[in-house]
Amino acid sequence: MVTAQSQPQSKETEQYNVIGTRPIRHDGVDKVTGAAQYGADISLPGMLAGRVLRSPHAHARIVSIDTSKAEALEGVLAVITNADFPRASDEVIDTGEGTAQLNWVLDNVIASDKVLYKGHAVAAVAATDHHIAEDAVELIEVEYDVLTPVLDVRDAMVDGSPLLHDSLHTGEMDGSKSDNPSNTASHLQFTKGDLDAGFADADVVIEREFETSMAHQGYIEPHNGTAYYRADGTLDIYTSTQGAFVVRDSVAPLLQLSPSQVKVTPMEIGGGFGGKIPVYLEPLAALLSQRTGRPVKLTMNREEVLLATGPTSGTYMRVRMGAKRDGTITAADVHLAFEAGAYPGSPVGAGAMCALAPYDIPNQRIDGYDVVVNKPKTAAYRAPGAPQSEFATESVLNELAEELGLDPLEMRLQNACEEGAQRADGFTYGIIGNVDCLQAAKESPHWQSELEGPNRGRGIAQGFWFNIGFESSAYAQVNGDGSVPLVLGSTDIGGTRASIAMQLAETLGISAEDVHPHVVDTNSVGYTQVTGGSRTTFAGGWAAYECAMDIRRQMEERAAQIWECDASDVSYGDDAIIRGPANEDGNDQQFTFKELAAQLVTSGGHIVGRADVNKTSSGPAFATHIVDVEVDPDTGKVDVLRYTAVQDAGTAIHPAYVEGQMQGGVAQGVGMALNEEYYYDDSGDLKNASLLDYRMPTALDLPMIDSIIVEVPNPGHPYGVRGVGEVPIIPPAPAVRAAIANAIGVHMNELPMSPRAILDATVLGGD
Amino acid sequence: MQAVKYARAESVEEAVSLLQDGGAGARPLAGGTDVIVQARERTRDIDLFVDIKHIAEVVAIEHGNDGSLTIGAATPCYEIYGDDSIAEKFPILVDSTSLIGGTAIQGRASLGGNLCNSSPAADGIPSLIVLEAQVEIAGPNGRRTVAVEDFCTGPGQNVLDSGEFVVKLHFPAPAAGSGARFIRFIPRNEMDIAVTNAATQLRLDGDGNVTWARISVGAVAPTPLLVADAAAAIVGQPLSEDSIAAAAAASSAAANPITDMRGSIRQRVHLAGVLTERTIRQAAERAA
C-alpha cells in the first residue's frame, strides 16, 4: 500500500490533457451489444431456482408456519424461514450509507415473530425450476394474527399507537433513551442563535405544513442474488449491488462466516440510486445453497421490488421562516418527521443537516424524528433525505420572496452561504460554489428569457448535498506495450470506470484509451465502499491518482536502475517523459512512458501500482434549477416546458457524464414532484406496485434538460472533484411547486403534485 | 407462471371446438398482451391458449362497397392505424389503436382482445361504442351478433359463453357530415391506463346543426358507458357553449366511478365532463 501521502493540490489553472474530455466509455460496447453480464444472466451447473413467500398483511404476528406440504412437493430441495438462520445479535454493522443492527437486517430479509409490511419475506424455497418454486411457496401455510397497521408518521408518534417493536425506545442525541417503547426510533435537534429573537426581528413570517409520499428509486433492473456455498465452506455470491463489500460484510455475520469465506462478485448493474445497497435476496440464496449444496438463484419481479425493497421516506414536515422586508432571513424553525419504514433508519439526519444548508441564517432550530411505520424499510435514494427537507424549506423561502415582492433568485443570493459560513450542525464551509451557481443561473438564457402564455409559470430552487469520501482501492499494472489494466472495487453505475480511468491517465500522462478499467470481486481488490454518496469519482479518482503516483515513483526507480544513477536524479514529468541525468557522453537521457514500459520485463519485471485511500473530507455540492411549466386547469396536468439545471461539479472529469447525472437527477426529481407516490389503502396494501401505476416520467414527459456546469474546484481533491450524482434530484420539486404557483396561483403542500391533487386544490375546491 | 398448453386453430370451427373441450381453463389467444401477463402473474387461471390469429377472417380488414368496415378480432393495432382507408374514414380508430400500449405492444394487441379483456378503462371500447360496432361471436351454437355497448357486463366480464370467442367487428359506414374523436386522460404522456376516457361521434348538416350523436365515457363505471343524455343534449341544434356544457354535465351525471390508485371519484366525474366537451369539439372539427 502507498504510505506516503501525496499532497492534494488544486490544478484549476492547468490545462488538463484527459480530464474534461469526453472519451467513449470503456464498458460501452459490451453494454450496447448486450454482452454485459447482469445478475439475472448468471447460470451455474446444477443451479436451483429460488422463490420467496411474502406477507399479504402490513402488520401481523406470525402464529405458525407449516412448510411440510411445500417440502413434500417433487422438485423442492429446501424451504427456509427466519428460524433457520443463526440467531443474529444486536451488534451494529456498516450497511453502506449507514449502519444497522444485525438482527434487524436479518428480520428485514426474512420476518421473525412479526411481519411489518405487505411483501415482507416470510419463507423461501429452492427447487429444480421456477415453476415448481412458485407452486411450492403457495403450499406454505402461514397463520397470522393480523394487527392494526400504522401508516402515517403522525399517528405512529402518538402515545398509545400500536407499536411495531416492543423493544424500540426513542434515542436522543445525548445517548439517552425514552422510558416507554415508541415508534419514534430517534430524535435529533440542531440549533443556532436565538430563535425567538430571530422571529421577533422578522417583518414577515410564513409557516407551512408539507406531506410527501414514499418514492422508489425506480431502477430498471430488479434485484437478484445467486449464491453457491461450496464444499470447502466458502460462499460465492453474484449480485446486482452498489457495494460488493457491504454485501460481504452483511451476509457473512448473518451466516456466521468469516468475511474471508465470502466472495462477492458485483455484476453489471441496471441502476441503483441507493436502493441497491441493502441485502435482500443474497442471505436467502446463501442459506438455501448451504442447505442444498447447489447454487441457488433468486430474482425479484417488479411487484416485489416495489413492495419489499427500500424506497425513500414519506414525510410530514413543518417549516416556519421569517425575513426582514429587505429579504434578510432572520430565523427558521424546521420540524421533520420521516418514515423509516419497518425498521429504524430513515435519512432524517441528513435531511435535517441539509434543510437550511445553502443559507446563512443566524437563528435556526431543526428537529428530526425517525419513525417506524408498516411500510417497507426505507433505503438510500439519491441525496437521501434532502429532496424532502429542502422541498419544505425552499418552498417557504419562495413564498417569502413572493410575499415580500422580491426576486427569489436575488433573495437567495442575499442569504447564500459562502466560505466560512457555519451550518446549525456545526460544519463550516470551505470553498464552495453556492453563489457561483446562483450567478450562473441568473445569467442563463433561461432566466433571462420572458415566459409568455396563459397558465404558464416559472420556478426556481436551490439544492445542497454533502457528498462523501471514504475508502476506495485500486491496482494498476504497466504492461510492456504501455497499456494499463486498472482494477477497481466500485460498481460502475454512472460511468465511473471512465471517470476513474481518466484520472489515472491524467496522472500518468497517457491516454484514457490506454487505461483498461475492470470492476472485480471482493477477493481481487482492496476494500472499497459503496458506489453512493457521490463518492466514486471523488474517492475512486483519488485512489487512481495515488496509484498512478505509486507507478511514477517505481518508474523513476526503474529508469535510475537502467541508467545506473540515483533515483532522486530521475523525474517523471506530467508530460509522461521520464528524464534522467546526462550520460557519460553528455547526452540527456529520457524515456517516454511507452519506451520505459517496453523495457520493464527485461529490467526487473512489471510494475504494479497500488493505493488505498480513506477520506473523511469531501466536496459540498450546490445546484440551482429553473423550470417553466404549463398547467391544464381543467385536468390538473402539469407539462414541463423548459428546464435548466446549474451545478458546481468542482472539476467535471467527463462532462458528458456530469451532464447525464444532472439530467437524470432532474428526471427523478420531477417524478417525485409530479406523479410518483406509494399509494396505500387503509389496510397498508400498496395498490400501485407496478411501473404502470407507479408513474415515473417517460421520455415524453420531459423536455431536453439544459445543463450548465459550474467549476469551483474542490481544494480537498487532487483534481478538484466534487461529487455530482446526488444534488440534482433536490431542487426539482420546490422549483416545480413555485412554477405551478406562478402559473395558477395555488401553492401545493403535498408531493406528488399530481393532476388529482391539483384538481383537489383548485376546481374541486379542497377536501 | 403456471404450465400452459398451446393449440393453434386453423379455422373458426376448430377454435370453438378446442375452447369447448378446454373448458373453463381455455382462453382464446390473439396478441396475448393481456392474457399472457395474466397467466404469468397468476391473476387468471389459464391452462390452454387457443391461438386464433392464424385464422384468415380473424385477422382481416375488409372495406365494404357501401363504406362499411369489418375488422378481424385479432387484427393487430398497427395494421389498423396503418390502413389508409381507415385513417381517412374512421380516424377515431386511429386515435384508439395508436395509444393502446407502446409501439411493440401495438404490433400484437388487437381491438378484439381489448374488448374481450373488458376493462372499464379500455381505450378501444368507447370508440367502438360511438361507431355503433356490432360484435360477431362464434360458438358451439353457430354465430351471433351483439351490439358493442351490450358486450361488457362488468370489470373483466362480458357476454361470451363457454366455447365462444369474438371473430370480427362490423362498423356501419359513417354518414356524410360525420366526425368522431377519442381522448383519454392520463397523468403522463404515454404508457398509462386511462383515468377517464371518452369518445364522441356526431353528424352535422349543412347548416351546422347536430343531427345525430353518440357519446361514450370510460373508466367511470363497471363498463364503458353509452351516455344517451349527453348525446341528446347536443342533437337538434348547432353546437353552442350551453349545449356542450349540458352534454358534459350529462356525462358527469352518468359517471359512477370508484376511487383507486389511478383516480378519485370526484376527479373522474369531473374528467368525464371535461373529456366529453373536448371530444365533442374535436369531433365537430373532423365533421366539418
Partner residue facing B271 (CB), from A635, A692, A695? A635
When pLDDT is cut at 50, 70 and 90, the band that residue A6 belongs to is very low
Question: A659: which residues sit within 8 A by CB, 6+ positions away?
Answer: A707, A709
Handedness of CA B19, B23, B29, B30 (dihedral sign): positive
Segment B78-134, tens digit of pLDDT: 999 999 999 999 999 999 999 998 999 999 999 999 999 999 999 999 999 999 999
Quote the domain boundaries for residue B12. 5-51
ipTM of this model?
Answer: 0.95
Partner residue facing A675 (CB), from B1, B187, B271? B187
Q: What is the mean pLDDT of chain A?
A: 96
B82 and B37 fall within a common domain? no
When pLDDT is cut at 50, 70 and 90, the band that residue A638 belongs to is very high
Cβ–Cβ below 8 Å for A764 and B262: no
Question: B97: which residues sit within 8 A by CB, 6+ positions away?
Answer: B77, B78, B80, B81, B106, B111, B124
**The 3-state secondary structure of A665-694, one letter per residue:** HHHHHHHHHHCCCCCECCCCCECCCCCCCC
When pLDDT is cut at 50, 70 and 90, the band that residue A11 belongs to is very low
CA–CA separation, B55 vs B68, rounded Å?
22
DSSP string, A541-556: HHHHHHHHHHHHHHHH
CA–CA separation, B55 vs B33, rounded Å?
19
Instruction: State the DSSP code for A600.
Output: T
Long-range contacts of B79-82 (CB under 8 A, 24+ apart): B80/B111, B81/B106
Strand partners, B130: none
pLDDT value at A636 more than 90: yes
Shortest distance between the Cα of B221 and any Cα of chain A, in A, equals 18
Question: A25: which residues sit within 8 A by CB, 6+ positions away?
Answer: A495, A497, A498
Chain mean position to CA A297: 26
pLDDT in the model for residue A8: 36
B162 and B231 fall within a common domain? no
Q: Which chain A residues have a beta carbon less than 8 Å from that of B191?
A: 692, 698
Closest-CA residue of chain A to B264:
A756
**A582 and chain B in contact, CB less than 8 A:** no
Question: A196: which residues sit within 8 A by CB, 6+ positions away?
Answer: none
Q: Which chain A residues have a beta carbon less than 8 Å from that of B261?
A: 679, 687-688, 693
B148 and B79 fall within a common domain? yes
Cβ–Cβ below 8 Å for A756 and B271: no
Going by C-alpha positions, the residue among A81, A119, A59 that lies closest to residue A311 is: A119
CA–CA separation, A501 vs A25, rounded Å?
10
pLDDT in the model for residue B48: 96
Instruction: State the DSSP code for B107.
Output: T
Cβ–Cβ below 8 Å for B195 and A700: no
Three-point CA angle A371, A375, A376, nearest 5°: 105
Q: Which chain A residues have a beta carbon less than 8 Å from that of B190?
A: 698, 700-701
Segment A493-546, tens digit of pLDDT: 989 999 999 999 999 999 999 999 999 999 999 999 999 999 999 999 999 999
Closest-CA residue of chain A to B101:
A692
Segment A425-473, tens digit of pLDDT: 999 999 999 999 999 999 999 999 999 999 999 999 999 999 999 999 9
pLDDT value at A5 more than 90: no
Q: Which chain A residues have a beta carbon less than 8 Å from that of B264?
A: 756, 760
B166 and B184 fall within a common domain? no
Q: Which chain B residues have a beta carbon less than 8 Å from that of A137?
A: none
Shortest distance between the Cα of A637 and any Cα of chain B, in A, equals 6
Cβ–Cβ below 8 Å for B260 and A687: yes
Shortest distance between the Cα of B259 and any Cα of chain A, in A, equals 11
Better pLDDT: A616 or A598: A598
Cβ–Cβ below 8 Å for B3 and A131: yes
Shortest distance between the Cα of B144 and any Cα of chain A, in A, equals 36
Strand partners, B252: none
CA–CA separation, A614 vs A633, rounded Å?
53
User: Which residue of B190, B196, B261, B270 to mutate against A (max A Cβ within 10 Å)?
Assistant: B261
CA–CA separation, B246 vs B159, rounded Å?
32
Question: Could you tell me the three cell numbers for A494?
Answer: 454512472
Cβ–Cβ below 8 Å for A756 and B263: yes
User: Which residue of A759, A760, A762, A767 to mutate against B (max B Cβ within 10 Å)?
Assistant: A759
Segment A545-593, tens digit of pLDDT: 999 999 999 999 999 999 999 999 999 998 899 999 998 888 889 999 9
The reply to whether CATH 3.40.50.620 applies to domain A28-36+469-615 is: no
Burial class (CB in 10 A: 0-12, 13-18, 19+), A13: exposed
Give the HSE-up count for residue A400: Cα atoms under 13 Å, Cβ half-sphere. Answer: 33
Closest-CA residue of chain B to A696:
B188
pLDDT value at A391 more than 60: yes
Segment A308-327, tens digit of pLDDT: 999 999 999 999 999 999 99
pLDDT in the model for residue B203: 98
Which of B171, B199, B222 is a domain's end point? B171
Partner residue facing A700 (CB), from B190, B261, B266? B190
For residue A85, the one-letter residue type is F
Cβ–Cβ below 8 Å for B189 and A698: yes
How many structural domains compose chain B? 3
The sheet carrying A638-648 orders its strands as: A456-465, A621-631, A638-648, A705-710
Segment B228-254, tens digit of pLDDT: 999 999 999 999 999 999 999 999 999
pLDDT in the model for residue B43: 86
Question: Could you tell me the three cell numbers for A535?
Answer: 463518492
Closest-CA residue of chain A to B193:
A692
The domains of chain A are located at 28-36+469-615, 42-149+223-303, 430-465+618-767
Which of B138, B171, B204 is a domain's end point? B171
- Whichever domain contains B41, its CATH number is 3.30.43.10
Question: Could you tell me the three cell numbers for B269?
Answer: 366525474
CA–CA separation, A527 vs B98, rounded Å?
52
Segment B167-222, tens digit of pLDDT: 999 999 999 999 999 999 999 998 899 999 999 999 999 999 999 999 999 999 99
- Do B138 and B15 contact (CB within 8 A), yes or no? yes
Q: Which chain A residues have a beta carbon less than 8 Å from that of B271?
A: 635
**A679 and chain B in contact, CB less than 8 A:** yes
Segment A689-720, tens digit of pLDDT: 999 999 999 999 999 999 999 999 999 999 99
User: Which residue of A134, A672, A680, A695 to mutate against B (max B Cβ within 10 Å)?
Assistant: A695
**A674 and chain B in contact, CB less than 8 A:** yes
CA–CA separation, A459 vs A376, rounded Å?
33
Closest-CA residue of chain A to B191:
A692
Which of B155, B171, B187 is a domain's end point? B171
pLDDT in the model for residue A634: 98
CA–CA separation, A654 vs A721, rounded Å?
11
Cβ–Cβ below 8 Å for B193 and A692: yes
**A637 and chain B in contact, CB less than 8 A:** yes
CA–CA separation, A300 vs A376, rounded Å?
15
Closest-CA residue of chain B to A752:
B187
Q: Which chain B residues have a beta carbon less than 8 Å from that of A692?
A: 191-193
B167 and B188 fall within a common domain? no
Partner residue facing B264 (CB), from A131, A134, A756? A756
Distances (CA, A) of A377 to A310, A335, A694: 5, 22, 18
Cβ–Cβ below 8 Å for B267 and A759: yes
For residue A439, the one-letter residue type is Q
- Do A493 and A272 contact (CB within 8 A), yes or no? yes
Shortest distance between the Cα of A35 and any Cα of chain B, in A, equals 23
Asked whether this chain's domains A28-36+469-615 and A430-465+618-767 adopt the same fold, the reply is yes
Instruction: State the DSSP code for A215.
Output: B
Strands A60-66 and A141-146, by their bridges, are: antiparallel
pLDDT value at A37 more than 60: yes
Chain mean position to CA A356: 20
For residue A168, the one-letter residue type is L
User: E strands, B48-174, where?
Assistant: 48-51, 61-63, 69-72, 134-139, 142-147, 152-154, 157-158, 165-171
B38 and B90 fall within a common domain? no
pLDDT in the model for residue A766: 59
Cβ–Cβ below 8 Å for B270 and A637: no
B131 and B201 fall within a common domain? no
Cβ–Cβ below 8 Å for A692 and B263: no
Closest-CA residue of chain A to B40:
A131
Instruction: State the DSSP code for A425.
Output: T
- Whichever domain contains B266, its CATH number is 3.30.390.50
Burial class (CB in 10 A: 0-12, 13-18, 19+), A584: exposed
Cβ–Cβ below 8 Å for B187 and A759: no
Segment A734-750, tens digit of pLDDT: 999 999 999 999 999 99
pLDDT in the model for residue A438: 98
**Where does residue B252 fall: left (phi above 0), alpha (psi -120 to 50 degrees), or beta otherwise?**
alpha
pLDDT value at B37 more than 70: yes
CA–CA separation, A714 vs A720, rounded Å?
4
**A701 and chain B in contact, CB less than 8 A:** yes
CA–CA separation, A389 vs A387, rounded Å?
6
Give me the CATH code for the A430-465+618-767 domain, please: 3.30.365.10
Q: In this complex, how many residue pairs, one in chain A and one in chain B, have their CB atoms less than 8 Å apart?
A: 59
Question: Could you tell me the three cell numbers for A116?
Answer: 411489518
pLDDT in the model for residue A89: 87
**A220 and chain B in contact, CB less than 8 A:** no
Residues of B with CB under 8 A from a CB of A: 1-3, 42, 185, 187-193, 195, 260-264, 266-267, 270-271, 274
Question: A26: which residues sit within 8 A by CB, 6+ positions away?
Answer: A497, A498, A501, A515, A516, A517
Average pLDDT for A156-160: 96
Cβ–Cβ below 8 Å for B187 and A754: yes
- Whichever domain contains B74, its CATH number is 3.30.465.10
A42-149+223-303 falls under which CATH superfamily?
Aldehyde oxidase/xanthine dehydrogenase, a/b hammerhead (3.90.1170.50)
User: E strands, A357-408, where?
Assistant: 363-372
Cβ–Cβ below 8 Å for A756 and B192: no
Shortest distance between the Cα of A666 and any Cα of chain B, in A, equals 16
